Amino acid sequence: MPETETLREYKNPDYVNWDELGFRTIPTDYMYVMKMSLDGKFSEGKLIRYKNIELSPSSGVLNYGQGIFEGLKAYKKRDGRILLFRPEQNALRMQTGAQRLCMPSPTVDQFVTAVKQTVLANKRWVPPPGKGSLYLRPLILGTGAVLGLAPAPEYTFLIFASPVGNYFKEGLSPISLFVENEFHRATPGGTGGVKTISNYAPVLKAQIRAKSKGFSDVLFLDSVNKRNLEEAGSCNVFIVKGNIILTPPTEGTILSGITRKSIIEIARDCGYQVEERAIPVDEMMEADEVFCTGTAVVVAPVGSVTYHGKRVEFKTGTQSVAQRLYRTLTSIQRGVVEDKKGWTVEIEETSYHIRSLL
């Protein structure tokens, strides 16, 4: 039986339609694996063929949700060189999350080196310039067996990769958000501020319900006052009022996004006044613009927000603040302009990744 186009595209990037990538898993060639123990001992990391992994039924990740993940991207420049964007920030955030969940974590150098090796081993899957990026998903999983409630004795640090395009089906068009007032994403003292795997399944019910009504995503409110903005299901949120840009502070219930952090700095460089403070939902409904940020979504303009049945539309388009910030950020990420901030890391061809595959 001849292979279908779908099967062929999963084996060879020559069959991938780079113009219709979307945000889905396309298995690439290799993934990175390193074992870690609770007492801080590390095995030598290695690249192996992309495949399923085996887990004990009593592994810490399956029984107690002991797992965290990160997300970052590799971009191909027009001259063929490949860039990462602030990978050390992902490494530091992963360390913070691991500490919160009583897990060991790679050093910054181990993390960045592993990401570089994963990209180089899968470099034929990096989309052409302007067609998308290679998404890297580092994870730390409690793979050791444990029955009583306790940290797992062994952990797996794993990185897999997939070429991706736009996160939302709207592409670069404005998205629509639904303000959720029944379910909450995080509570004070919980794990809302770290990228644990257990943060995401609880948002699915609210997200599916919103998408069934035609919305792009859900915007969550704080669980204490039930009136202040927190974040969307997959990204941080900003509002624009004149020359002022506002975003909720990351004080334990909101993920400290790396794109968020970068946009704040870029906005200040552009002359905007940026404030990190509590934002009542009613204040957002009177804003000029609303936009979301994240590694997956980059900078997504919000065309409308619906709250208690009231729908408010916001400014979007080429002259918007969101578009200005998007163009500046992506020009740095893709190496189109000079990176004066030292945010991008070029992945140089070396021999170490080849030895890892032998």
Instruction: Report, as residue numbers or ranges, the catalytic residues.
Output: 195
**What type of residue sits at position 42?**
F
d(CA 192, CA 230): 10
| CA R_g for the chain | 21
Nearest to 104, CA basis, from 69, 153, 48, 145: 153
Pairing of strands 67-69, 133-141: antiparallel
Nearest to 50, CA basis, from 80, 27, 74: 27
Indicate the burial class of 92 (C-beta count within 10 angstroms; 0-12, 13-18, 19 or more). middle
What count of residues does the chain have? 358
Q: What are the Cα distances from residue 95, in Å, to 47, 102, 206?
A: 22, 10, 29
